[in-house]
Amino acid sequence: MSVLSVMGLLGVLALATSYFGVAAVRRVAERCQFLDIPNERSSHTRPTPQGGGLAIVTVVLGGLWFYAALCPGVPWLALGIFTVGTVLIACVSGWDDLHSLPVWVRFTAHGLAAVLVILAFGYWHAVGWPGLGGFSLGLFGVLLTFLWIVGLTNAYNFMDGIDGIAGGQAVVAGLGWAILGWISGQPLVGVMGLLIAAASLGFLGHNWPPARIVMGDVGSAFLGFSFAALTVLASQSNPVFVLTGIALIWPFVFDAVFTFARRLCRGEKVWAAHRSHLYQRLIISGLSHGQVSGLYIGLAMLGLVWAVALVQGWQCMAVVGAVVVAVAALSLWVWTCQRERAGNGLLSNHLTGNRLI
């Protein structure tokens, strides 16, 4: 059975299993009152069943081992170590969904899981750009890899605050990894990307606004961890995959880093619950969940095109892609600020009895 046939079969099975698996989780969550209660960080207004991410985790891990059983040449030991790290992330995050855990417990688990990924797949040895080769990182690459894994695991979790946004980003990034794994001759990367995309699409059938279930930390932390691990795994064959991994999820990376830096400069408690991410500010300004999630999916598609240009070595396209993404990031920030100012102006005129034309 060819790798392409196996990938097609896995994709169909993952999509169907995820869709019906999420439906089953939703029924159990409703019966057990396992609900996501709105808090300071939430953009929801009513309690919603959570835990849908459990189906994503199960489908992706089950699919990976099914692929390993069918196709020879899969590094079983590395896959086993990665699986242990993934289960650790899922268990701690799932428990945090049920009973809030201290920050140090979550970060300890994330750190241990990051070490397991480094043991399984290696670390960033260099950062590359098409036509320019790679810039060696030396042992500093170990620290950067560790911070990348822990950082993205948490950043993806922070970005999962409205209906459809985390699942939509996962579909695009997973599809990107499926394409890039295929064209670069890395079947394990391609299969893992395909499984994430298919499982996330099945979940999105229940999570697109208005959501009937949310994925919870068990899903969002798993997705962030998996995308970070994919970047590490793929970069072992080509250092350009370091930038590629960032390109595929750049809207989340930009929003999370920008918001973290902004809050740090303001002297705020950066780990406290808040609603100051750009996507949250757009919701507060009056846009719907569907509009904002659709916007972020569109931005992620720009990153996918840029990622393909990087891996294919299309130097001009890679430069153009970098410029387009930079302009899109700046435009997202400026537009958010403009909507906030417009909203404040309308509120001010309403309070003073004036009307704007």
Rg of the chain, C-alpha, whole Å: 20
- Condensed to tens digits (0 to 9), the pLDDT of residues 3-33 reads 677 778 889 999 999 999 999 999 999 998 8
pLDDT of residue 9: 85
- d(C-alpha 89, C-alpha 317), whole Å: 37
- d(C-alpha 125, C-alpha 108), whole Å: 24
355: left (phi over 0), alpha (psi -120 to 50) or beta: beta
Both tokens of 230, joined, read 């994919």
pLDDT of residue 276: 87
Number of alpha carbons in the 13 Å side-chain half-sphere of residue 306: 27
Both tokens of 254, joined, read 């930009």
* Secondary structure tally for the chain: helices H, strands E: 13, 4
- d(C-alpha 88, C-alpha 90), whole Å: 5
Of the pLDDT bands very low, low, confident and very high (cuts 50, 70, 90), residue 351 is very low
- Condensed to tens digits (0 to 9), the pLDDT of residues 90-99 reads 999 999 998 8
pLDDT of residue 348: 40
Q: Return the higher-pLDDT residue of 25 and 73.
A: 25
Roughly how many angstroms between the first and final C-alpha of the chain, as a whole number?
66
Give the range among 101-105, 267-271, 344-348 with minimum mean pLDDT. Answer: 344-348
Give the range among 47-51, 149-153, 167-171, 299-303 with minimum mean pLDDT. Answer: 47-51
Tell me the torsion sign for CA atoms 293, 295, 301, 307: negative
SS3 126: strand
Of the pLDDT bands very low, low, confident and very high (cuts 50, 70, 90), residue 2 is low
pLDDT of residue 7: 77
Mean pLDDT of 45-71: 92
Of the pLDDT bands very low, low, confident and very high (cuts 50, 70, 90), residue 41 is low
Both tokens of 84, joined, read 């242990």
- d(C-alpha 353, C-alpha 357), whole Å: 13
pLDDT of residue 354: 34
Mean pLDDT of 261-290: 87
Average pLDDT over the chain, rounded to whole? 91
SS3 238: coil
Name the residue type at position 86.
T
Give the range among 33-42, 46-55, 327-336 with minimum mean pLDDT. Answer: 33-42
Sketch the domain layout of the chain as residue ranges. 3-351
User: How many of the other CB atoms lie within 10 Å of CB of 306?
Assistant: 26
- Condensed to tens digits (0 to 9), the pLDDT of residues 108-145 reads 999 999 999 999 999 999 999 988 878 899 999 999 99
